[in-house]
A and B are shown apart, each in its own frame.
Chain A
Amino acid sequence: MSKLLHELENKLLPRNDVPAFWPGDELAVHILIKEGDKERIQVFTGICIGRRGSGLRETFTVRKLSYGEAVERVFPVHSPSVKKIEVIKSREKNRLAPRAKLYYLRKQK
């Protein structure tokens, strides 16, 4: 990617309050949900199993078990709909392997 594009992306970042988090951390992602003209915040809690891309286009995947069924959601890091990202538990405390992508969790369950 060109240097200029990299600089522009940093300039266009809509928010700078993204906390430092890594794959393996347990996250609570606060998502803005619009239903008609009503707005509410929903929290999606799970383990971050990977981050992808860089700058403005970066996304992360969160995996959780919902009633015994695994659910994965991909969020753009800088989306205005992602209101808040909270780190609940670090990877070390989760006792997970230090991997950039924790796809092995999919096979375990």
Chain B
Amino acid sequence: MVPGIIGKKIGMTHVYDEKGTMVPVTVVQAGPCFVVQVKQQSQDGYNAIQIGYGQVSEKKLTRPVLMHLKKRGLPPLGTLREIRVAANKVSEYTPGQQLTVEAFQPGQYVDVTGTSIGKGFQGVVKRHHFRGGPATHGSMSHRAPGSIGNTAPQRVPRGRKMAGHMGCQKVTVQNLKIVKILPEENCLLLEGAVPGPREGLVLIQPAIKKTRLT
């Protein structure tokens, strides 16, 4: 079982299952990824593998990164990411090894991590689903947050929901089902939505809560 694979969100469409029901799917072009480095407890203090995805021109990389890849005979890769692996599983991986979508199975559940679409500075109605005030009847408070506390503590409690920057955050969606795998195009069809914009990078890992196949 691969610990994870990096991919690019292509977009959404739908397919029909064997019963003829329409299933909304997100197409993710994932891999091929390369194992770049294997980190071990004895050397690095923890167990992980570093995987790389997406070929770029050599000019796009700094020399330390380029040599880090070249030393292991790998092409210039734009994205490097570390994934923690259990101590007894580390020996299964060697630098240069390829990870493809074929390591997954249809029906398997996965967790998908991406960067959500940035929304900029937003008010409390959009950002925290506040109700806002009445629109008419002399109301002068339409989308304002209202009271932010009592007289008693003489300060605003930490974590009070207010207006501010929204989106562009790391978001993980758990338990998405793999509907179909297209090995020729390196594509996975995942049921439902995946965080982030089209062309956004996502990390696909086997689900930690739902490991059973359906």
Q: Which residues of A contact B180 (CB under 8 A)?
A: 12
A32 to B16, CA, bound (A): 15
Q: Which residues of B contact A76 (CB under 8 A)?
A: 22
* Chain A interface residue bracket vs B: 10 to 19
Chain A 76-91 interface residues, beta-carbon cutoff 8 Å to B: 76, 78-81
| Chain B at the A interface: SS class | strand
CB distance from A82 to the nearest CB of B (A): 9
With both beta carbons as reference points, the residue of chain B lying nearest to A5 in the complex is identified as: B11
A-binding residues in B (CB < 8 A): 10-11, 13-16, 20, 22, 27, 29, 180, 182, 185, 187, 198
Query: Do residues B13 and A80 form an inter-chain contact, with CB atoms below 8 A?
Result: no
Please pick, from B22, B27, B187, the residue contacting A79 in the complex, using a CB distance under 8 A. Answer: B22
Q: A76-B22, A79-B22 are in contact. Are A5 and B13 (CB under 8 A)?
A: yes
B-binding residues in A (CB < 8 A): 1-2, 4-5, 7-9, 11-12, 14, 32, 55-57, 76, 78-81
CB distance from B186 to the nearest CB of A (A): 10
A2 to B20, CA, bound (A): 26
A4 to B185, CA, bound (A): 9
For the complex of A and B, list the 3 residue pairs with the smallest distance between their C-beta atoms, beginning with the closest: A80-B20, A5-B11, A81-B20
